Amino acid sequence: MKKASIVIPAYNEEKRIGKTLEAYSDYFETLRKEKKLEYEILIVINNTEDRTEEIVKKFVRKNNRIRYLNFKKGGKGFAVMEGFKDALKRKNNIIGFVDADMATHPEECWKLISSIRDCGGVIASRYIKGAKVFPKQSIQRIIASRIYNALIRTLLMIPYRDTQCGAKMFRRNAIELTLPCMSMSKWAFDIDLLYNIKKRGFKIREIPTIWSDKNYSKINFLEAGPWMALGVIRLRILNSIFRNFIRIYDNLLNRIWRSK
């Protein structure tokens, strides 16, 4: 039987974490009772200033398969990596993450887990045949995401159509081998993870998903996009003959960030 650890990073999620945990808990309890899956849901609260922890604690008391960590720093990438480290302390053979906003419904998460088979990982995609996104994304968002994806394909030679979808599942050994090599926890975290897993010879399958796009998402893609692109360039430098120049590049980025 598969044993999955589902990491959910949570930053100021008091308005939606309750609904997400209720839906995921109900669905995965059904799978457990049907002997299809053993699971844990690991909420990683990071730098939150609202009632997220209080709400999560209520669900922990209801379901002992829900766990949580709380950090006073870090963004989404940091939270996911800390969740992975914690999940590796237990006997989970599949480890992955989904976003806290339930853009990925539990049925779609289970589809990822059950599709992993002989792959090192399975990622949800909004941009391949069979995918459905509700409501439809704006033309500006689609164009920006396609430009970003073209940059990733060109610089890193990874073939995936949707690297940023917040639903990914991996085999334990892929995470064990890759996590120590991760160098980025902010804008290009997903790319760093996929690049390093592929670099170590694991196959990653991309499958279509049903995605409920949230108009109250905390990430403004148009504002974050340039920083995500700079993160991809940084990853390329780190994995090239120019890696010794990374300090110069980092200093330049820090100056730009402080000037904002």
pLDDT tens-place values along the chain, 260 residues long:
889 999 999 999 999 999 999 999 999 999 999 999 999 999 999 988 899 999 999 999 999 999 999 998 888 899 999 999 999 999 999 999 999 999 999 999 999 999 999 999 999 999 999 999 988 888 887 888 888 889 999 999 999 999 989 999 999 999 999 999 887 656 688 999 999 999 999 999 999 999 997 654 555 555 667 778 888 888 889 888 988 888 888 887 777 666 65
Strand partners, 68: 43
Half-sphere exposure of 15 (CA within 13 A, CB side): 6
- The CATH architecture to which 2-259 belongs is Alpha-Beta Complex (3.90)
CA nearest 120: which of 159, 169, 183, 188? Answer: 169
pTM of the model: 0.90
Q: What does the DSSP 8-state code read for residue 171?
A: E
* Bond before 159 cis per omega within 30 degrees: no
